[in-house]
Structure 1
Amino acid sequence: MKAIELEAKPREARKRNQVKALRSEGAVPGVLYGSGEPSKVQVDDREFTQLLKNASSETVLLDLTVGDQKHLALVQEVQIHPLSRQRLHIDFREVKPDQAVVVTLPIITEGEPIGVKTGGGNMDQVLRFVKVKGTPAALPEELIVNVEHLDIGHTLHVSEMETPEGIEVLANEGNPVVSVAKPRVVVETAATEDGEEGAEGEAAEGEGAVEGTGGDAKPAEEGAD
């Protein structure tokens, strides 16, 4: 995975209203966690937004410059306001080039299954993200799985995924990733003329029954007098 350059500035501890003022100035407060004491930092919100737009996945590896020091770091967590969608805080996690880390990567399908292309089947991607383990240099930005060989009724499992050397997929090998199912058939029931006539006949019989009941009731009333 290629590291993206980002500049951060050291940040002093501030009160809540001061941190709010910092955000209004276009900066986002953050913390860099590593082997030592956490370091308070701040980054430009516009630069960080552009960085995320250029990234191909939610897992972002950074060459983070803080003052005169460089750190290899991952974007660990971004806190966002639920209403305004403003970034409130960013956690950066420092990593070592030779140390394996656990990240979540997207799964991208490649090609069109033969069961869809020639059989009219439907492809269903069951698993879209998966956790993997590897060194920063070995980590891909996404996992690509070829699905061209899948016919109707076939399923591609985690154990069949091809991954780069040095990458371990942290998921049950039997978990399905992509499957191809038979096309769904929708059966429409149309009312026939005979059916309509039958319904009218039943309605007519029902009306006669009501009238007959009224006729039986009338003589009974006369007898009661």
Structure 2
Amino acid sequence: MILNLAAQPRKTVRKSDLTKLRADGMIPAVLYGTEMESTSISVSQSEFIRCYKKSFEELTFYEIELEGKKYHTILKDKLIHPVSRQFLHIDFLVIPATAEMEFDVPIRFEGEPAGVLEGGFADIIQRSVKLVCQASNVPQLELDISGLHVGDSLRVGDLPKGNWTYRDDDDVALIVMHAKRVEEEVEVDEDAADEAADGDAAPETDESQE
């Protein structure tokens, strides 16, 4: 997925300037890559959050427009305030379209496993995989799990094949269908327990009364 995001050049470097920039609804950021010098920019807080919320389910590229020029980037790093959860700083890495890189690509699991109707549950072990490919050829990974019964699993080797290389071995598990564990709870009848205890007690004799 490619999301468009407008940016403005930034010359502010002092802490007070950055604080004012954030108060004005902007996020300090940097744009950098192997074929360009690091450039300080700022982006709209609201616009970035709108884009960021769309990026959870699949690998996202940000098309940064700066002074009439567009840069194909990925979100490389982010700094978030621990209390307010406000974005404090963002790093965008410029990616040449033909460059081969390692990407962490989310997996979209499609369907309802048949094992759920059998009383089982799906244990998702990995929600993404690392792969190497050109930036212009990053796949959207979908995996149909509707045919999974209790005891079945899907592994990296079951993912779609294409012009990319998975970092993990084929036998690395992604999702496993387990049977639900039944825990038997034994309720103890306190009255019965008391009666049993009374029955076990030694009878009182004349000698013990003396």
- Structure 1 residue aligned with 2:167: 170
In structure 2, runs of 5+ residues without a counterpart are none
- Structure 2 residue aligned with 1:202: 197
The 5 A counterparts of 1:37-52 are: 37-52=37-52
- Same amino acid, percent of matched pairs: 26
Q: Counterpart amino acid of 1:19? A: L
Structure 1's consecutive aligned runs of 4 or more residues displaced over 6 angstroms after TM superposition are none
Say whether 1:187 aligns with 2:184.
yes
In structure 1, runs of 5+ residues without a counterpart are 220-225
The 5 A counterparts of 1:39-188 are: 39-57=39-57, 59-117=59-117, 119-140=118-139, 142-163=140-161, 165-188=162-185
Determine which structure has the larger strand proportion and give its number: 2
Q: Distance in 1 between matches of 2:196 and 2:57?
A: 66
Q: Distance in 2 between matches of 1:48 and 1:84?
A: 16
Decide whether aligned partners of structure 1 residues 70 and 198 sit closer, same or farther in structure 2, where only a CA change above 3 A counts: closer
Q: Counterpart amino acid of 2:122? A: M
Q: Counterpart amino acid of 2:127? A: R
Between Structure 1 and Structure 2, how many residues are aligned? Answer: 209
Decide whether aligned partners of structure 1 residues 196 and 17 sit closer, same or farther in structure 2, where only a CA change above 3 A counts: same
CA shift digits 1:156-215 (9 cap, x unpaired): 11112224x2232222322111111223223232447xx954641423544x57x77xx7
Task: Kindly state the Cα deviation for residue 73 of structure 1 after the two structures are TM-superposed.
Answer: 0.8
- Structure 1 residue aligned with 2:19: 20
Q: Distance in 1 between matches of 2:15 and 2:112?
A: 53
Give RMSD over aligned pairs: 2.6
Contact 1:59 1:75 in 2 (8 A): no
Higher alpha-carbon deviation: 146-155 or 53-62: 53-62
CA shift digits 1:15-40 (9 cap, x unpaired): 11111111111111011111232111
Q: Counterpart amino acid of 1:203? A: D
Contact 1:57 1:105 in 2 (8 A): no
Determine which structure has the larger helix proportion and give its number: 1
CA shift digits 1:115-168 (9 cap, x unpaired): 333x3222211111222222222213x4211122322212211112224x2232
TM-score by length of 1: 0.81
